[in-house]
Amino acid sequence: MDKKQYVDKAIHAYYERHGAVSERLVDAILYSVDGGGKRLRPLVLLDLLEDFGVTIEPGHYDVAAALEMIHTASLIHDDLPAMDNDDYRRGRLTNHKQFDEATAILAGDSLFLDPFGLMAEADLADSVKIKLIQALSQASGTFGMVAGQMLDMTAEHTQPSLVDLAAIHRHKTGCLLTYPFLAAGLLVEVSQDEQALLEEIGQLVGLAFQVRDDILDVTADFETLGKTPKKDVIAQKATYPSLLGLDQSYHILEDSLNQALALVEKLEAKQAKNFVKLRALLERLRLDG
């Protein structure tokens, strides 16, 4: 199996290990877990660990799986009628369309809460697990992704400043994309300087990913996206293209990736290692303007 399959196996194993109180709830949870997706966030974590020279262990897959569960929960809730009201995700019916709205809400609730149980059971040092759990909570909840979603909804039908837009996306998208970098540093137990470098790289990756997503929402079709295109335009959401135009958005994407690469060079010098997989990730995020 490849790393992506091991992440999926870790999620399934958690629910198999504990058994089901409600089969329907678990079915709804796994419907979204198994609905495709690149597993970008967990794979970034695992690839980073390999760049550091770490052999991937089951405990690492549990941390990666927990991160993917949080991300999947956010997608289920993001698609709900009260939020983005989307019928499709990753090319198939969204959770509330496949099941019903109440079931989708509860499946999302479970996927927000269960990851912390999974991480607590992971075969890792307790001192490291505490830091990993705290960092994931910070990235996910009131001070991270959920706050960003609130800011995003509040900004609909308004003309936010670039500062406001950056704050929305730094929290809504950036926090969960920064987490793999923070988690890798905690697992490897790097120095404070290296941890700060990893966090800054993660923030730049989060910015690049969001700008890229904003561009694709305007320029790509359903087959490419696997979800409804131009839905941000229809909802009058604040995006980089809507505020700055496509040309400037492409520039921000390229600039953030170039800044990240410069920081990778500093990290490589400190570690005396080549971060091949991290460099490859940054190059994959580029678009032809």
Q: Is residue 116 part of a domain?
A: yes
Average pLDDT over residues 256-285: 96
pLDDT 10s digits, 133-165: 999 999 999 999 999 999 998 988 888 899 999
Residue 172 reports pLDDT greater than 90: yes
What is the span of the domain harbouring residue 265? 3-284
**Lowest-confidence region among 35-49, 58-72, 215-229:** 215-229
Q: Is residue 247 part of a domain?
A: yes
Q: How many domains does the chain have?
A: 1
pLDDT 10s digits, 214-246: 999 888 665 655 555 555 555 557 789 989 999
Residue 254 reports pLDDT greater than 60: yes
Residue with more model confidence, 27 or 235: 27
Average pLDDT over residues 75-95: 94
Q: Is residue 250 part of a domain?
A: yes
Q: Which residues of 117-145 are buried (b: 16+ CB within 10 A; e: fewer)?
A: ebbeebebeeebbebbbebbeebbeeebb
CATH code, 14: 1.10.600.10
Residue 72 reports pLDDT greater than 80: yes
User: pTM higher than 0.85 for the full model?
Assistant: yes
Q: Is residue 289 part of a domain?
A: no
Q: Is residue 189 part of a domain?
A: yes
